[in-house]
Chains A and B, each alone.
Chain A
Amino acid sequence: MKTFRSAFVALALLGSGLAAATHASIAVAAEVTVGDLVIGGGFTRATLPNAPVGGGYLTITNKGSQADRLLSAASPVAGVTQIHEMKMEGDVMKMKELPDGIEVPAGSTVTLSPGGLHIMFMQLKQALVEGTNVPLTLTFEKAGVVEVQLDVGGIGADAPTTHHSEHSPASGHGAHASHAASQQTGLSDIDAIAAMQKQMFDKPDNPLAMGAIVVVGDYAVSGWAQGDTGGRALLRRTANGWGIHLCAGDGLKDAAELVRLGVPEDVSQQLASRLASAEASLDPALVAKFSTFDGVMMVDENLL
């Protein structure tokens, strides 16, 4: 049964698409041309809490017949933005600033990537959040100044996220999602969550059964089953009502795993213990279906 899962994939893609749409002026991670230079594949990584620095990565292709040079970089997210080189010498990571920037020879491509050349964001003014974008202004010796957007990927991202231009926010599940939000008003938290998930995924020929739903503060965990499969969803309260933060299986029963996913420790423990007692009263065959979901699928609750 792929219905629920594929809908989640669509939602996850849509979430990124919406994030892109909020920065409408410049195409996200798309190629930007300035003079003879084409800049593409821009990404950075979500930062750990309190992390004062981040790295920016992109490719610069020089289609012209003269060498150019990346002289400097700047971004509103950082107090200081520098051009750095990192390299491994044996077991030792060495990093240094390149005060003269990076040469981009004629007819060639220079790649800034993890473990090598990179843009160094220092004195970060804000955490870099996965699914958002970071504006970056690059100054070249000949081509001049250009602004690009870096996709913020996961903490360990090695590449930019997929382009989403083919996914229109106005189509398909987008309409469902915003409709679901409007259905939540006037309902209790539990009814609102059940209504939202049913609104999104229930099908006449493939009904969605909701299991236990436990709510602690602005977080909730719900069980669901559809056909032979099922899973658990971690939900968060947003300005527009409850939204699905991510979908997983047994992990969401575990307080430590909830903490790892970013839920505060006391909330995690309450969620886990309440879920355990709520699920104890359900049909074991139904609860077993909640465990069939493999892995963790991120969804953006703010796409409501």
Chain B
Amino acid sequence: MSTYTARLRLALWGLVGVAIIASVVLFVTRPGPVANGIGGGEYALVDDRGGKVDQTMLVGQPSLLFFGFTHCPDVCPTTLSEMAVWFDQLGSDAGNLRAFFVSIDPERDTPELMHGYVEFLGGRVTGITGTPTEIDKIAKAWRAFYEKVPGANGDYTMNHSASVFLVNAEGGFEGTIAYQEDPATAVAKIRKLLGKSA
């Protein structure tokens, strides 16, 4: 065996090694319950009808996940009304797509309050609230930022992440829709999510 052939073999085995490592890396980082460190977690919450829910609510169907609060004059009602438009544009293509509006102000957002708020959107959006500790777990799992801003007379408002998370049927992170994203782009992103979850 010439030195040249031996070197070539070594180089080829090296390439095989790189390929194996690459496929392992791809396997580990493929979209799943926890991709890019976003998603997953364990939490025990309640929906707007008072029913118990946990992290499995995001499994079994594609979902839209939005963090907000009802004492929100602009971003939250705007985003929820945009969601209604997306559902309208998708029509029957929306299939079993679900949408969750998670309160980051659980002290004020009771299930009853959330129910009336989301019911207007025709049962397509489920309101989620719970104890501050459990809300903090889902928010941290999804890297959703929120903070309380004290105002006068003990009143307060909330700063919070305004993006809508696209969640695949395994409960994994697939992407986001930005606040006031162009409706056509938003619907295209949802269609892509539905295609992957089909």
A45 to B161, CA, bound (A): 22
A49 to B113, CA, bound (A): 9
Are A51 and B74 within 8 A (Cβ)? no
Q: B153 — which chain A residues lie within 8 A by C-beta?
A: 80
Q: Does any Cβ of B come within 8 Å of A190's Cβ?
A: no
A45 to B115, CA, bound (A): 20
Q: A80 — which chain B residues lie within 8 A by C-beta?
A: 153, 155
> Among the interface residues A47, A50, A55, A80, which one has the most CB atoms of the partner chain B within 10 A?
A50
Tell me which of B81, B113, B123 contacts A155 (CB under 8 A): B81
Q: Mark A82-99, 1 if CB is under 8 A from B, else 0.
A: 101010100111111101
Are B73 and A256 within 8 A (Cβ)? no
A193 to B99, CA, bound (A): 37
Tell me which of A94, A156, A260 contacts B78 (CB under 8 A): A156
A202 to B122, CA, bound (A): 34
Q: Does any Cβ of B come within 8 Å of A223's Cβ?
A: no
Q: Mark A45-65, 1 if CB is under 8 A from B, else 0.
A: 101111111110000000000
A304 to B70, CA, bound (A): 34
List 14 interface pairs A-B (beta carbons < 8 Å), by A numbering.
Answer: A49-B116, A49-B120, A51-B77, A55-B74, A80-B153, A84-B157, A86-B75, A92-B159, A92-B162, A93-B74, A96-B149, A122-B155, A260-B121, A262-B120
Contact A93 B160, CB 8 Å, known A52-B70, A260-B84 = yes
Tell me which of A51, A84, A93, A115 contacts B70 (CB under 8 A): A51
Q: Which residues between 75 and 104 of chain B lie within 8 Å of chain A, taking CB atoms? A: 75, 77-78, 80-82, 84-85
Question: By the criterion of a CB under 8 Å from any partner CB, how many residues of chain A are at the interface?
Answer: 38
> Among the interface residues B74, B123, B124, which one has the most CB atoms of the partner chain A within 10 A?
B74
Q: Which residues between 126 and 143 of chain B lie within 8 Å of chain A, taking CB atoms? A: none
Q: Does any Cβ of A come within 8 Å of B43's Cβ?
A: no
Known A92-B161, A155-B81; further 6 A-B contacts with Cβ < 8 A? A45-B77, A48-B120, A86-B75, A93-B160, A96-B149, A118-B74
The chain B residue sitting closest to A89, CB to CB, is B159
A47 to B113, CA, bound (A): 13
Q: Mark A192-226, 1 if CB is under 8 A from B, else 0.
A: 00000000000000000000000000000000000
Q: Does any Cβ of B come within 8 Å of A121's Cβ?
A: yes
Are A91 and B161 within 8 A (Cβ)? yes
Q: B162 — which chain A residues lie within 8 A by C-beta?
A: 88, 91-93
Q: B70 — which chain A residues lie within 8 A by C-beta?
A: 48, 50-53
The smallest C-beta distance from B115 to any residue of chain A, in angstroms, reads 8
Q: Does any Cβ of A come within 8 Å of B10's Cβ?
A: no
